[in-house]
């Protein structure tokens, strides 16, 4: 007992305090989401009731098209993740397996480009997409199609970089064998590499999904219409400055939106930490 | 073999559809005179056909889609940013010079001395835009187009109870559903009145009598005021200006190249230099404080949980929750908690602090929230790094008689720092540009916007740039672009330094 006190007690105290710190905001959101008054004011830190009023409001109130926002987010983040990983894996494969002139300088350019935070060029993206809108209204400013295209461009640098690391770790023997059997590079990619790398590609797709789901500022700039917003923009505009009025439904909405992300994240923890140590940081 | 043919068929169909789509886009871009975009699209089609129909370049088959996307949405915005930073490109100086000249001409008129106005109906006369004008005080009526004026007698007309003509022979009134869209065709036009005076519409049913005040001289590239003879010349900075008076300029201006002025005024002009230095210092303090606090707490937790104590797995899964939550949601939640009147933090402390109204409280709140968001990351990576330190090393030290504190200070910590330095640098670079946190929590404030202050007390460089470009009444895209590029150079240097460090590390292990 004495030894336990001496050696383990401080560990429990440190961890306990950190757990309280970590849980405090989450606990507050959960109890306010079940509070029927929907008020930001906390009268008691112990929950008094479990009311579903805030949740019901999300799905019935015409002022919060919550389901539409959620659908938009899933659609945008999903298509960006899938397409960018497919296109990115082709480039990563070529960087990793093909030898060609300019390979090294290509990698260096990519490294530099992926360091340029998209947000720095946001004024330029805005002006360019404004011009695109003048001749192609369906993919210009203010449309989800345009936003997806901009995300795809932005995702390229990071994804190719990340995927290249993964591809390098896949043994070369199999595709070399395929090459000896007379398969072309393109066939090797589709028939050998893609099936082999599916688990890795799935992980990167999910990571890319989380990243896009979390993106705020481009979405804010692009999606002006209530109906076209993503969940992040929708909830931010909904709560914007009116914390006291809209807190309850916001709390409920942010919980529902966070659950899938938290589940994906926890199940991918191992890969995410590895990916992070490879030098990229989640937003 | 069948499979090969199927693949070929799919390839050809996809390629054909894609080229057709791009061609369509390119044609409409060309029609809107967006030559650069059109050129890029044509080039993309040619490249795609060349790459996928010939066997000239195998690597390009893999790279092309990625290269095109990167070029369109990353590289070209970067190049565009570089270009914009050399221009006087801001509210009032957005359009091209030709458009500006046209708009100055159209806007340059003054109402007649009496301020005469007439009731009108919009419509067409011999297929041309025309006004049906009713002067109800003198009961005179006429139709006016841009080049003729046709007098009418009241007997020919359909009048309403206010004696305003509704229709006339030869005149076709605009259908109601087209009136709101007609503004573009009618405003800016000069309809015939008398002598040098003309009619200009002031809404859908009123026109005023006015005369031109400025004329443009193409050969000399100047505007001249007809009434008082003042001459406005191109001042080389995107405006026509009279003499040396910088306020005597004609609106609108155009985007004019000013080369390095956006950069040089950041150094030489006190109004730009002082806020920039203030924001820069806070950016560094914020990023450094964030890295220090998150690393310290993360490391402490990693050390505490670096032993299989009871409940370690539960601790671990709770501790990563802040990191797993979508950060946008977490930041908004914290925003509510810091609310002055109802927020949980004031309730808990029993205080009434206006967190976001005071610079220091706001800064403290930002670092606290970022500690919450970031410590799980350093907990996770420090745990990993601790496992990577060979046990033999620690055991050897213990045998040599070192106490636990000495072991930590002399062996564990130096090794950990060596492993984690690239991550600490990456985290610094990331937080240097942590726009979401600042924008969503404090919006960069508190700021004294009544004094025209753009930089708030918690603004970091990137949110300050955003304010300059989109947030204030004067949107200065040129200046914002210049600051963007400075940030890029700073961050890229930091990141490259970090990568060099990690390369050095790899060669050791």
Residue A82: what pLDDT?
A: 96
> Are B384 and A273 a contacting pair at CB < 8 A?
yes
Per-residue pLDDT tens digits for A208-225: 999 899 999 999 988 988
For B334, the closest of A25, A122, A124 (CB atoms) is A25
Decide if pLDDT at A241 tops 70.
no
Decide if pLDDT at A281 tops 60.
no
Residue A199 corresponds to which tokens in the numbers above? 């688990």
Residue B56: what pLDDT?
A: 85
| Chains A, B: CB pairs < 8 Å | 277
Q: With a threshold of 0.85, tell me whether the complex ipTM lies above it.
A: yes
> Are B377 and A276 a contacting pair at CB < 8 A?
yes
Residue A278 or A39, more confident: A39
Per-residue pLDDT tens digits for B105-117: 888 888 888 888 9
For A151, nearest residue in chain B (alpha carbons): B73
Query: Which residues of chain A form beta strands (DSSP E)?
Result: none
Respond yes or no on whether the N-terminal peptide bond of residue A8 is cis (omega within 30° of 0).
no
Residue A280: what pLDDT?
A: 40
Q: Which residues of B touch A236 (CB under 8 A)?
A: 328, 332, 440
H-run or E-run covering B88: strand B87-88
Q: Which residues of B touch A268 (CB under 8 A)?
A: none
> Are A232 and B326 a contacting pair at CB < 8 A?
yes
Residue B329 corresponds to which tokens in the numbers above? 């949601």
Q: How distant is the Cα of A58 from the closest Cα of chain B, in angstroms?
A: 16
| φ and ψ at residue B110, rounded to 5 degrees | -130, 145
pLDDT band at B285 (very low <50, low <70, confident <90, very high): very high
CB A47 within 8 A of CB A54: no
Euclidean distance between CA atoms A118 and A215, whole angstroms = 11
For A159, nearest residue in chain B (alpha carbons): B66
Residue B504: what pLDDT?
A: 60
Burial class (CB in 10 A: 0-12, 13-18, 19+), A148: buried
Decide if pLDDT at A98 tops 90.
no
Q: Which residues of B touch A197 (CB under 8 A)?
A: none
> Are B77 and A185 a contacting pair at CB < 8 A?
no
For A41, nearest residue in chain B (alpha carbons): B342
For B25, the closest of A111, A136, A266 (CB atoms) is A136
CA atoms within a 13 Å half-sphere pointing along the CA-CB vector of B97: 16
The share of chain B scoring above pLDDT 70, in percent, equals 98
Q: How distant is the Cα of A67 from the closest Cα of chain B, in angstroms?
A: 17
For A128, the closest of B80, B323, B470 (CB atoms) is B80
Q: How distant is the Cα of B106 from the closest Cα of chain A, in angstroms?
A: 23
> Are A214 and B326 a contacting pair at CB < 8 A?
yes
Q: Which residues of B touch A266 (CB under 8 A)?
A: 317, 320, 324
Mean pLDDT of the B100-107 span: 90
Task: Select from B77, B85, B484 the least CA-distant residue to A120.
Answer: B484
> Are B430 and A125 a contacting pair at CB < 8 A?
no
For A124, the closest of B84, B335, B337 (CB atoms) is B84
For B324, the closest of A121, A185, A261 (CB atoms) is A261
Per-residue pLDDT tens digits for B371-399: 999 999 999 999 988 888 888 888 898 89
CB B383 within 8 A of CB B305: yes
Residue B508: what pLDDT?
A: 47
Residue A262 or A273, more confident: A262
Mutate to test the interface with A, among B18, B35, B65, B70 (most CBs of A within 10 A): B70
Residue A1: what pLDDT?
A: 57
Euclidean distance between CA atoms A30 and A28, whole angstroms = 5
Q: How distant is the Cα of B492 from the closest Cα of chain A, in angstroms?
A: 6
For A135, the closest of B34, B380, B495 (CB atoms) is B34
Q: Which residues of B touch A17 (CB under 8 A)?
A: none
Residue B388: what pLDDT?
A: 83
Decide if pLDDT at B245 tops 60.
yes
Q: Facing residues of B121 across strands?
A: B132
Mean pLDDT of the B246-257 span: 90
pLDDT band at B7 (very low <50, low <70, confident <90, very high): confident
List of long-range contacts for B278-284, beta carbons under 8 Å, 24+ apart: B278/B455, B279/B455, B279/B459, B279/B460, B279/B461, B279/B464, B280/B461, B282/B363, B282/B457, B282/B458, B282/B459, B282/B460, B283/B432, B283/B460, B283/B461, B284/B432
Q: How far is CA B296 from CA A252, B307, B308, B340, B388, in A?
A: 33, 18, 21, 29, 19
Mean pLDDT of the A227-246 span: 87
Residue A282: what pLDDT?
A: 40
Mean pLDDT of the B82-94 span: 92
For B384, the closest of A124, A254, A277 (CB atoms) is A277
| φ and ψ at residue B120, rounded to 5 degrees | -135, 165
Decide if pLDDT at A275 tops 70.
no
Q: How far is CA A97 from CA A100, A166, A204, in A?
A: 10, 12, 19
Decide if pLDDT at B243 tops 70.
yes
Mean pLDDT of the A49-55 span: 88
Q: Which residues of B touch A217 (CB under 8 A)?
A: 435-436, 439, 466
> Are B326 and A236 a contacting pair at CB < 8 A?
no
Decide if pLDDT at B289 tops 90.
yes
Parallel, antiparallel or unpaired: strands B117-125 and B128-135: antiparallel
Decide if pLDDT at A251 tops 90.
yes
Task: Select from A230, A237, A228, A232 the least CA-distant residue to A140.
Answer: A228
CB A251 within 8 A of CB A203: no
Mean pLDDT of the B402-408 span: 89
Per-residue pLDDT tens digits for A99-148: 888 888 888 888 888 777 777 888 899 889 999 998 888 888 889 999 99
Eight-state DSSP code of residue A45: S
Q: Could you tell me where the DSSP H helices lie in B71-193? A: 76-84, 97-107, 176-179, 183-186
Residue B46: what pLDDT?
A: 95
Mutate to test the interface with A, among B77, B305, B346, B497 (most CBs of A within 10 A): B77
Mutate to test the interface with B, among A41, A83, A121 (most CBs of B within 10 A): A121
Respond yes or no on whether the N-terminal peptide bond of residue B252 is cis (omega within 30° of 0).
yes
Euclidean distance between CA atoms B329 and B436, whole angstroms = 11
Q: Which residues of B touch A132 (CB under 8 A)?
A: 29, 34, 37
Per-residue pLDDT tens digits for B65-78: 999 999 999 999 99
H-run or E-run covering B346: helix B344-349
Mean pLDDT of the B222-231 span: 90
pTM: 0.87
> Are A135 and B347 a contacting pair at CB < 8 A?
no
Residue B304: what pLDDT?
A: 93
Task: Select from A255, A176, A79, A7 the least CA-distant residue to B330.
Answer: A255
A 10 A CB-CB count for B180 gives 8
For A116, nearest residue in chain B (alpha carbons): B488
Q: Which residues of B touch A265 (CB under 8 A)?
A: 320, 323-324
pLDDT band at B85 (very low <50, low <70, confident <90, very high): very high
> Are A12 and B309 a contacting pair at CB < 8 A?
yes
> Are A116 and B488 a contacting pair at CB < 8 A?
yes
């Amino acid at each position: 007992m004495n030894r336990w006190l001496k050696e383990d007690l401080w560990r429990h105290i440190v961890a306990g305090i950190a757990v309280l710190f970590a849980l405090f905001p989450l606990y507050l959101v959960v109890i306010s989401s079940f509070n029927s008054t929907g008020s930001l004011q906390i009268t008691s830190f112990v929950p008094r009731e479990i009311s579903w009023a805030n949740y019901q409001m999300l799905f019935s109130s015409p002022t919060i098209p919550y389901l539409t926002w959620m659908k938009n987010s899933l659609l945008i983040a999903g298509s960006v993740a899938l397409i960018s990983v497919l296109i990115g894996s082709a480039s990563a494969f070529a960087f990793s397996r093909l030898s060609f002139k300019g390979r090294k300088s290509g990698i260096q350019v990519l490294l530099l480009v992926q360091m340029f935070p998209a947000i720095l060029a946001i004024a330029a993206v805005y002006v360019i997409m404004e011009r695109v809108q003048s001749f192609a209204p369906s993919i210009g400013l203010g449309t989800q199609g345009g936003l997806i295209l901009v995300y795809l461009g932005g995702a390229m640098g990071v994804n190719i970089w990340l995927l290249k690391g993964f591809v390098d770790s896949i043994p070369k023997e199999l595709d070399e064998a395929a090459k000896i059997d007379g398969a072309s590079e393109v066939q090797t990619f589709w028939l050998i590499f893609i099936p082999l790398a599916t688990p890795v590609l799935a992980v990167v797709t999910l990571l890319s999904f989380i990243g896009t789901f979390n993106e705020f500022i481009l979405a804010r700039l692009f999606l002006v219409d209530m109906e076209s917003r993503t969940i992040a923009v929708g909830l931010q505009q909904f709560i914007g400055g009116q914390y006291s009025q809209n807190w309850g439904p916001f709390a409920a909405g942010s919980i529902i939106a966070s659950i899938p992300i938290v589940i994906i994240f926890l199940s991918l923890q191992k890969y995410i930490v590895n990916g992070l140590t490879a030098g990229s940081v989640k937003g | 073999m069948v499979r090969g043919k199927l693949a070929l068929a799919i390839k050809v169909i996809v390629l054909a559809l894609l080229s057709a789509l791009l061609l369509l886009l390119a044609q409409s871009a060309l029609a809107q005179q967006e030559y650069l975009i059109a050129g890029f699209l044509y080039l993309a089609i040619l490249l795609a056909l060349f790459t996928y129909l010939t066997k000239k370049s195998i690597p390009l088959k893999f790279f092309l889609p990625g290269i095109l996307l990167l070029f369109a949405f990353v590289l070209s915005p970067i190049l565009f940013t570089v270009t914009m930073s050399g221009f006087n490109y801001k509210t009032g100086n957005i359009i091209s010079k030709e458009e500006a000249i046209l708009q100055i001409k159209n806007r340059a008129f003054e109402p007649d001395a009496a301020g005469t106005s007439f009731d009108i109906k919009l419509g067409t006369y011999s297929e041309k835009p025309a006004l049906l004008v009713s002067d109800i005080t003198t009961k005179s009526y006429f139709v006016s187009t841009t080049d003729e004026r046709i007098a009418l007698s009241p007997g020919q007309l359909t009048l309403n109870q206010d004696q305003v003509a509704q229709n006339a022979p030869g005149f076709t009134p605009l259908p109601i559903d087209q009136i709101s869209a007609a503004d573009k065709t009618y405003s800016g036009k000069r309809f015939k009145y008398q002598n040098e005076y003309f009619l200009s519409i002031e809404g859908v049913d009123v026109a005023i009598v006015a005369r031109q005040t400025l004329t443009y001289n193409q050969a000399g590239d100047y505007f001249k005021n007809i009434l008082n003879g003042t001459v406005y010349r191109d001042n080389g900075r995107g405006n026509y200006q009279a003499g040396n008076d910088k306020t005597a300029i004609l609106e609108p201006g155009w985007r004019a190249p000013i080369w390095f002025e956006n950069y040089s005024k950041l150094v030489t002009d006190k109004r730009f230099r002082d806020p920039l230095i203030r924001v820069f210092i806070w950016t560094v303090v914020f990023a450094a404080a964030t890295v220090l606090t998150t690393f310290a707490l993360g490391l402490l937790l990693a050390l505490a949980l670096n032993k299989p104590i009871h409940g370690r797995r539960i601790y671990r899964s709770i501790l990563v929750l802040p990191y797993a939550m979508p950060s946008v949601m977490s930041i908004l939640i914290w925003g509510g908690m810091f609310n002055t009147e109802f927020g949980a933090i004031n309730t808990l402390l029993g205080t009434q602090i206006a967190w976001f109204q005071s610079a220091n409280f706001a800064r403290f709140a930002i670092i606290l929230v970022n500690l919450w968001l970031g410590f799980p990351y350093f907990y996770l990576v420090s745990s990993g790094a601790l496992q990577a330190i060979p046990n033999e090393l620690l055991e050897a030290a213990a045998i040599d008689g070192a106490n636990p504190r000495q072991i930590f200070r002399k062996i564990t910590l130096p090794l950990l720092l060596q492993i984690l330095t690239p991550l600490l640098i990456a985290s610094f670079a990331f937080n240097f540009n942590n726009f979401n946190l600042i924008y969503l929590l404090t919006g960069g404030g508190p700021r004294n916007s009544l004094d025209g202050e753009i930089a708030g007390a918690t603004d970091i460089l990137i949110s300050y740039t955003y304010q300059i470009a989109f947030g204030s009444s004067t949107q200065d895209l040129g200046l914002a672009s210049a600051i963007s590029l400075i940030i890029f150079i700073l961050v890229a240097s930091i990141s490259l330094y970090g990568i060099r460090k990690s390369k050095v590390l790899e060669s050791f292990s």
